[in-house]
Structure 1
Amino acid sequence: MSFEYDLLVIGAGSGGVRAARMAATYGAKVAVVEEDRVGGTCVIRGCVPKKLFVYASRFADMFEIAPSFGWTVESSFDWPTLVANKDKEIARLEAAYVAAVEKPGGTLLRDRAVLTGPNSARLVSSGREITARYILVATGGHPHIPDIPGKELGITSNEAFELKQLPHSILIEGGGYIAVEFATVFAGLGVPTTLVYRGDKVLRGFDDDLRTGLEAGLQERGVKLIYETTIRALEAKGSDVVARFSDEVDAPFGAVMFATGRRANTRGIGLEAAGVELNPDGSIKVDRYSKTNVDSIYAVGDVTGRSQLTPIAVREGWYVAETLFNDNPQWVDHSQIGTAVFAEPEVATIGLTEEEAATHGDIDVYLARFRPMINTLSTKSTRTMMKLITAADGGKVLGLHILGKDAAEMVQVAAVAIGMGATKADFDRAIAMHPTAGEELVTFKGPTHRYRNGAKV
Structure 2
Amino acid sequence: MTRVVIIGGGPGGYEAALVAAQLGAEVTLVERTGLGGAAVLTDCVPSKTLIATSEVMTTIERAGELGLKVTASGEDDSIASSVEVDLEQVNRRVLDLARAQSESIAAQLERAGVEYIQAEARLDGPTTVVIVGEQGEQRIETDIILLATGTTPRELETAKCDGERILNWKQVYNLTELPEKLIVVGSGVTGAEFANAYDALGVDVVLVSSRSQVLPGEDQDAAAVLQDVFERRGMEIMSECRANAARREGDEVVVTLEDGREIRGSHCLMAVGSIPNTQGIGLEEAGIELSKSGHIVVDKVSRTSQRTVYAAGDVTGVFALASVAAMQGRIAMWHALGDAVAPLNLKSVSSNVFTAPEIATVGMTQKQVDEGDLRIGTKTLQLAGNPRAKMQGVNEGFVKVFCLPVTGIIVGGVVVAPHASELIHSLSLAVAEKITVDQFSHDFTVYPSMSGSIAEAARQLHLHDHPEKPSKTQV
Report if TM-score (shorter chain) is over 0.5. yes
Partner SS state of residue 263, structure 2: strand
Query: What percentage of aligned pairs have identical amino acids?
Result: 25
Match of 2:298 in 1: 286
Deviation string for 1:260-296 (max 9, x for gaps)?
1122110111112212110111001111111111121
Give the aligned residue type for 1:140.
G
Partner SS state of residue 218, structure 2: coil
Match of 1:391 in 2: 404
**Cα distance in 2, alignment partners of residues 439 and 33 from structure 1:** 46
Q: Kindly indicate whether the alpha-carbon contact (under 8 Å) linking 2:405 and 2:470 is maintained by their aligned counterparts in 1.
A: no
Match of 1:112 in 2: 120
Match of residue 329, structure 2, among 300, 307, 317 = 317
Alignment of 1:328-367 (within 5 A): 328-358=340-370, 359-367=372-380
Query: Which segment drifts farther, 437-446 or 268-277?
Result: 437-446
Q: Kindly indicate whether the alpha-carbon contact (under 8 Å) linking 1:427 and 1:441 is maintained by their aligned counterparts in 2.
A: no
Match of 1:53 in 2: 50
**Cα distance in 2, alignment partners of residues 349 and 136 from structure 1:** 29
Q: Kindly indicate whether the alpha-carbon contact (under 8 Å) linking 1:183 and 1:195 is maintained by their aligned counterparts in 2.
A: yes
Match of 2:73 in 1: none
Q: CA deviation at 1:318?
A: 1.1
Q: Kindly indicate whether the alpha-carbon contact (under 8 Å) linking 1:345 and 1:403 is maintained by their aligned counterparts in 2.
A: yes
Partner SS state of residue 410, structure 1: helix
Give the aligned residue type for 1:117.
G
Q: Kindly indicate whether the alpha-carbon contact (under 8 Å) linking 2:187 and 2:209 is maintained by their aligned counterparts in 1.
A: yes
**Cα distance in 1, alignment partners of residues 360 and 472 from structure 2:** 26
**Cα distance in 2, alignment partners of residues 340 and 209 from structure 1:** 15
Query: Could you say what the CA RMSD is over the residues aligned between the two structures, in angstroms?
Result: 2.5
Match of 1:70 in 2: 68
Q: CA deviation at 1:447?
A: 5.9
Q: Does 1:233 align with 2:249?
A: no
Q: Against the structure 1 CA distance between its residues 404 and 455, is the aligned structure 2 distance closer, same or farther, given a 3 Å change threshold?
A: closer
Q: Does 1:128 align with 2:138?
A: yes
Q: CA deviation at 1:400?
A: 0.8
**Cα distance in 2, alignment partners of residues 363 and 324 from structure 1:** 38
Alignment of 1:28-47 (within 5 A): 28-47=25-44
**Cα distance in 1, alignment partners of residues 472 and 424 from structure 2:** 28
For structure 1, list consecutive stretches of 5 or more residues without a partner in the other structure: none
Q: Against the structure 1 CA distance between its residues 170 and 108, is the aligned structure 2 distance closer, same or farther, given a 3 Å change threshold?
A: same
Partner SS state of residue 7, structure 1: strand
Q: Against the structure 1 CA distance between its residues 238 and 456, is the aligned structure 2 distance closer, same or farther, given a 3 Å change threshold?
A: same
Number of equivalent positions: 452
Q: Against the structure 1 CA distance between its residues 171 and 127, is the aligned structure 2 distance closer, same or farther, given a 3 Å change threshold?
A: same
Match of 2:314 in 1: 302
Query: Which segment drifts farther, 151-160 or 291-300?
Result: 151-160
Q: CA deviation at 1:115?
A: 0.9
**Cα distance in 2, alignment partners of residues 164 and 237 from structure 1:** 20
Q: Kindly indicate whether the alpha-carbon contact (under 8 Å) linking 1:26 and 1:326 is maintained by their aligned counterparts in 2.
A: no
Match of 1:171 in 2: 183
Match of 2:152 in 1: 142
Q: Does 1:203 align with 2:215?
A: yes
Partner SS state of residue 17, structure 2: helix
Deviation string for 1:240-273 (max 9, x for gaps)?
1111111211121111111111221101111122
Q: CA deviation at 1:162?
A: 2.4
Match of residue 10, structure 2, among 10, 13, 19 = 13
TM-score normalised according to structure 1 size? 0.92
Query: Which segment drifts farther, 315-324 or 64-73?
Result: 64-73
